[in-house]
Amino acid sequence: MRITDVEPILLRGDSTYRASTDASESTDNGDWQLLVRVATDEGFEGWADVETLAPAAVAVIAGTGMSTLGFRTLSELLIGEDPRDVERLWDQLYIGSAYYGRRGLAMQAISAIDNCLWSIRAQAAAMNLAQMLGGRRRDRVLAYASTLFRPTPQAMADAARGYLDQGFRAVKFGWGVFGEDPGRDRELVAAAREALGPDNHLLVDPGWYPAGWTRPGPTRSRREAIELCQWLADYDVGWVEDFIHPERFDEYATVRAQSPVPVAAGEQLATIWEFERFIETGCVDVIQPDLSRCGGLTVARRIADMCTRANIDCVPHSWLTHLLTGYSLQFIATLERARFVEFNVSQSALTGGIAPAGFSLDDDGMIAIPGGPGAGVDVDRDFIEAHRVRT
């Protein structure tokens, strides 16, 4: 089998990221979204979404590369290759783009391609992706509704009750107004905890820089970070997430050692080398690789092994289209321990329309992990054509 096409598909939407000003739902990225489609001569196709600067990533995948190795585009490095040689191809993509890549946009594009290749490999073997990755240990997992902070205690309580009514047993509130006013932060968390009651999970993602989307402010001091963890413990928060500058591994380890609540992070990290350092230096209780940023499933599989060694939990970060939800579910199916799947309840018209998977919650607030061949989530080709920008 040979790869015949690695196609970046750029989609345009008409909404923008927005934290709600009342109890209503917030909106994730709604203006641009990049998809990648990998095609083969045997008719198998892989699809994946990418969280990146979408218009620029198109050139990295399928623009004009240079002849020097290290400055090639990703599609040049793949056409004609056997898509089942996934891990060899990951190395080839890394080295072939290393002089401009290694992290950021290039690694995010590699992540999407890697997920496509794993999907193709599973389809070609007529296997479920989780089986291809090492085997299914479970058929369902607890979902947490993942959304943004609302600006008042009343709106927080109304929103939290709304998620319970939808069947969720766990909710994460992040970013929004959090960090602008410490007194109000506490009232918002208190209102959410009261509305959720003692038996449902409350997770908090304070953001690693203060609010103000166009102009981020300074990051927290060590003392502020520790104090934040201490008062969050009063509300039985399941974890505090991604609240320290992502380059400050030392700071994570120090704050975690003093935090009464579990510390979760990892969505900003990429490659096995970065995750190795982060996990081995004791930075977190819960590692959160994002499969559309970390280097894809090839890297995530290695992270799962690191988690076993360090005896910490792995809950993939997953706040994009349901293509990513699907890949995350397949990965979660293989983990030794699986606490949650992140479920994006804030999808825009654009991210929501790409892969309108019919996930539903059972009576325990759990989502079934698709069992068919491949990743088990289909794209809406008509929607994609209708929103596609020709590049």
Which of 97/111 has CB closer to Mg ion? Answer: 111
The CA radius of gyration of the chain, in Å to the nearest whole number, is: 20
CB of 196 to Mg ion, least distance (A): 19
| 231 token code pair | 């008062």
Which of 48/148 has CB closer to Mg ion? Answer: 148
Q: Do strands 3-12 and 388-389 pair parallel, antiparallel, or not at all (unpaired)?
A: antiparallel
Residues that contact Mg ion, how many (by CB under 5 A) = 2
Q: Where are the beta strands (DSSP E) in 263-346?
A: 263-265, 286-287, 313-314, 341-344
Residue from 25, 28, 114, 242 touching Mg ion (CB under 5 A): that is: 242
Q: Which stretch binds Mg ion (CB under 5 A): 23-31, 195-203, 236-244, 342-350?
A: 236-244
Which of 62/148 has CB closer to Mg ion? Answer: 148
* Most distant CA pair in the chain, distance: 61
Q: Which stretch binds Mg ion (CB under 5 A): 22-30, 237-245, 279-287, 327-335?
A: 237-245
Residue from 25, 51, 114, 205 touching Mg ion (CB under 5 A): that is: 205
Altogether, the residues listed in the chain come to a count of 391
Q: Which stretch binds Mg ion (CB under 5 A): 91-99, 204-212, 351-359, 376-384?
A: 204-212
C-alpha distance across the termini of the chain, in Å:
28
What's the rounded Cα separation, in Å, for the pair 170 and 81?
A: 43
Helix (H) / strand (E) element for 187: namely: helix 182-196
Counting beta carbons within 10 angstroms of the beta carbon of residue 345, is it exposed (0 to 12), middle (13 to 18) or buried (19 or more)? buried
Site string (69-108) toward Mg ion, x via CB under 5 A: ----------------------------------------
Which of 193/317 has CB closer to Mg ion? Answer: 317
Which of 119/205 has CB closer to Mg ion? Answer: 205
Q: Considering only CA atoms, which of 378, 125, 380, 66 is closest in space to residue 117?
A: 125
CB of 249 to Mg ion, least distance (A): 17
- Residue 143's SS3 state is strand
Which of 8/266 has CB closer to Mg ion? Answer: 266
Which of 25/205 has CB closer to Mg ion? Answer: 205
CB of 325 to Mg ion, least distance (A): 15
CA 52 to chain centre: 12
Residues 162-181 that bind Mg ion (CB under 5 A): none
Q: Does 342 bind Mg ion (CB under 5 A)?
A: no
Contact predicate 19/4, CB 8 Å: no
Which of 160/265 has CB closer to Mg ion? Answer: 265
| 84 token code pair | 């089942």
CB of 28 to Mg ion, least distance (A): 12
Point out which residues pair with 32 in neighbouring strands: 12
Q: Applying CB under 5 A, which residues contact Mg ion?
A: 205, 242
